[in-house]
Amino acid sequence: MAPLLLLPGLSSTPEIWDQVRAGLPVGIVSQALENASLEDIDAIAAKILADAPPRFALAGFSFGGYVALAVAAQAMDRIERLALIATGANADSPEAAASRKRLIEIAQKDYPSVDSRMAKFLLHPDHVEDPAIHEIRSRMSRDYGAARFIAQQRAAMARPARDAVLASIRVPTLIAVGREDKVTPLAQHEEMARRVPAAELVVFERCGHLAPLEAPRGLAQALTKWMTH
């Protein structure tokens, strides 16, 4: 079985995968990676490919999903399985780009406030006040840092649409999302699942955008099935 490489999202370090990895069976060898502090998605993907084993399974969460699709565009022949979690194959809309620009301006002046400003938008209402999730998010935000946040927001803003990549995928593909995800809505994932031959769509209940923290058990189960069937 090929090793499983896990890519985190914006404001996330490899720690976001800890609870998910703990739920994977011992037969699945997984490694959570950092996304480089670069302003170009394709450059981040190239760096991952330079360090990756010859063949691997790849799962990307949110921004990590953008990177995973860039990896697929560059080296689909090295990917044995692909998982796209709370992400999208679209380019930023003008509204999304404007929102990223505002976040960059805030981060340049008061980066520590970004985490609290985004909590209600990112999380399902049941998890907004969860102290364990807040502790992890606060620690990741601190370790991630303003420079990486700004660089990766700019990279996300400049990314191209990946519709052609979706149509080219011929490996087992998992597409997963929280039902109440406001950042990358369910409809977006349903459309991706229609475009990828034989993709499986998994929806987590009572879950917003942060599936690895809000639904780690369900995500681990979905990844296990995807890796072993």
Q: pLDDT-based confidence at 115, cuts 50/70/90?
A: confident
pLDDT for the residue 75: 98
144 is a domain residue: no
Helix axes 94-110, 112-122, angle to 10 degrees: 140
Q: Strand (E) positions, 22-123?
A: 30-32, 56-61, 79-85
Mean pLDDT of 183-205: 96
Higher pLDDT, 229 or 72: 72
Dihedral angle over CA of 67, 72, 73, 74, nearest 10: 90
Domain housing 24: 4-93+154-228
Contact 110, 7 (CB under 8 A): no
**Among 60, 120, 123, residue whose Cα is nearest residue 88:** 60
21: tokens are 């990895």
Mean pLDDT of 142-162: 96
Mean pLDDT of 190-210: 96
Q: pTM of this prediction?
A: 0.96
Mean pLDDT of 182-206: 96
pLDDT for the residue 83: 98
197 is a domain residue: yes
69 is a domain residue: yes
177 is a domain residue: yes
pLDDT for the residue 168: 94
Pairing type for strands 56-61 and 4-7 reads parallel
**Among 105, 127, 107, residue whose Cα is nearest residue 115:** 107
16 is a domain residue: yes
Mean pLDDT of 111-138: 92
**Among 172, 201, 166, residue whose Cα is nearest residue 82:** 172
129 is a domain residue: no
Residue type, 106: I
Q: What is the pLDDT of residues 33-90, one digit of tens each?
A: 999 999 999 999 999 999 999 999 999 999 999 999 999 999 999 999 999 999 999 9
142 is a domain residue: no
58 is a domain residue: yes
Q: What is the CATH number of the domain that holds 75?
A: 3.40.50.1820
pLDDT for the residue 117: 85
pLDDT for the residue 87: 98
pLDDT for the residue 130: 94
Please count the structural domains in the chain: 1
**Among 45, 57, 48, residue whose Cα is nearest residue 159:** 45
